[in-house]
Amino acid sequence: MKNKILVTGGAGYIGSHTCIALHEAGYDIVVYDNLSNSSPEAIKRVSTLIDQPIEFIEGDIRDAESLKQVFTAHHFFGVIHFAGLKAVGESVAKPLMYYNNNVSGTITLLEVMSEYDVKNLVFSSSATVYGDPENLPINEESPRSCTNPYGQSKLAVEHILEDLAKSDDRWNLIALRYFNPVGAHPSGQIGEDPNDIPNNLMPYISQVAVGKLKQLSIFGNDYPTVDGTGVRDFIHVTDLAQGHVAALNYLEQQTSPEKSCLDTASTKQTSSKSSSVGFLPINLGTGKGTSVLELISAFSDVSGQAIPYQFTARRAGDIASCYASANKAKSSLGWQAKLPITDMCQDTWRWQSMNPNGYNIS
Ligand code: NAD
Ligand code: UDP
């Protein structure tokens, strides 16, 4: 039997898709989420899709006692840590909330992992840690800098993970730096469900297409790009989910000679091994840039809907272009993104048109 994985934030957008990929890869999963930005309906639908109940615990990563109960009840190989707040604008308005949730919450999780000797972690980092990149495509050695509290919280956690790896070589810590996750499960049953008016491009486009929003504002058409609009590396969420499976497989391989074993006397887990992953940052992107206008055109083609738009001023803090070098993911994890922009648009449209109000089905 495969290893058991704790998935924090597993009820959210990327987490729910990754739960399916993990299940399909044979992993046993336990989802831990406080539902602050997700719905129990997502868990229900994932259970239906995998035809098996999901072990779900409603809890907060800042609650050490609750986490300890979970670690006492289960023998985890490792943790995939999605739980976090992610809205850049909100982070500027409420920095303490973001640092508390994303940084303090992660420290609490790491402390409990350490206590239970679970030292394998896959962390959701972001391309935002690269700030305004000097060179494209962006590789993992590029300088890091952030201008908003959300980005700072991701960077702070990366620094914490680096220090932790230096302090004790039994830690195996992969930071996956996501570029722009979009798309939905091909069933149309789960997808991205923003609470409010979307901040991000793809959910905004799909809500215009379905008639919930009137028109898209394109923030700037004077960037030094192919058509003047911003360029991003959009990646299908199911490809991203597979990237997490690849990261776990890598951790298993690296730690396999003397695998984690259960110390039955203490019911806590002990691990001993020869090689250490340390801190390993890896980009998850396609390596290809797509402009705002190109994405609109692709979405319009697959959905058959017009996407009315107007050009407005640049959005503060935006950069012109951002796309990944995906070489390290391929060479170290054996992973690469497969799905093109058309699939990203098609699957987003299926999810949006089947669920115009997201998980809010009442
Ligand atoms: P999401 O909001 O859909 O999922 C995050 C989940 O974490 C939610 O279900 C939320 O309820 C839960 N959560 C938040 N704080 C928690 C806490 N204190 N305790 C327990 N659960 C908590 O977001 P997502 O898009 O799925 O993103 C997942 C992770 O990936 C986040 O850490 C995010 O910062 C990171 N990320 C996302 C993107 C993106 O564009 N979606 C890009 C780069 C990085
Ligand atoms: N964008 C836009 N209108 C919107 C939302 C986004 O023109 O309503 C542009 C934005 O300026 C950027 C691109 O779309 O060039 C991607 O923005 P998103 O917020 O999705 O991702 P991020 O900027 O965080 O990479």
Question: What is the residue with the minimal CA distance to atom 7 of ligand 2?
Answer: 218
| Number of other residues whose CB lies within 10 A of the CB of residue 96 | 9
Ligand 2 pocket: which of 201, 290, 322 to mutate (most atoms within 8 A of CB)? 201
pLDDT at position 300: 98
Give me 151's structure tokens.
């980005």
Query: pLDDT tens for residues 339-358?
Result: 999 999 999 999 999 999 99
Give me 57's structure tokens.
């615990």
Ligand 1 binding pocket (C-beta < 6 A) is 8-9, 11-15, 33-38, 60-62, 82-86, 101, 105, 124, 126, 178, 181
Give me 320's structure tokens.
């012109």
Nearest 5 degrees, angle CA 355-CA 358-CA 362?
90
Query: Using a 6 Å cutoff on CB, does residue 324 contact ligand 2?
Result: no
Whether a cis peptide bond, with omega within 30° of 0, leads into 194 is: no
Per-residue pLDDT of the chain in tens (362 residues, 90 and over written 9)? 679 999 999 999 999 999 999 999 999 999 999 999 999 999 999 999 999 999 999 999 999 999 999 999 999 999 999 999 999 999 999 999 999 999 999 999 999 999 999 999 999 999 999 999 999 999 999 999 998 999 999 999 999 999 999 999 999 999 999 999 999 999 999 999 998 899 999 999 999 999 999 999 999 999 999 999 999 999 999 999 999 999 999 999 999 865 444 333 344 444 444 468 999 999 999 999 999 999 999 999 999 999 999 999 999 999 999 999 999 999 999 999 999 999 999 999 999 999 999 998 65
pLDDT at position 2: 78
Tell me phi and psi for residue 114, to 5 degrees: -60, -45
CATH class belonging to 4-354: alpha beta
Ligand 1 pocket: which of 46, 80, 86, 200 to mutate (most atoms within 8 A of CB)? 86
d(CA 77, CA 118): 7
- Residue 67: which residues within 8 A CB-CB, separation 6 or more? 32, 59, 61, 108, 109, 112
Question: What is the residue with the minimal CA distance to atom 16 of ligand 2?
Answer: 201
Determine the distance separating the centroid of ligand 2 and the alpha carbon of 215, expressed in angstroms. Answer: 14
Q: What pTM value is reported for the model?
A: 0.95
Determine the distance separating the centroid of ligand 2 and the alpha carbon of 308, expressed in angstroms. Answer: 16
Domain boundaries, the chain: 4-354
Category of 321 on φ-ψ map: left (φ > 0), alpha (ψ -120 to 50) or beta:
beta
Query: Using a 6 Å cutoff on CB, does residue 178 contact ligand 2?
Result: no
Ligand 1 pocket: which of 7, 13, 153, 177 to mutate (most atoms within 8 A of CB)? 13
d(CA 141, CA 324): 12
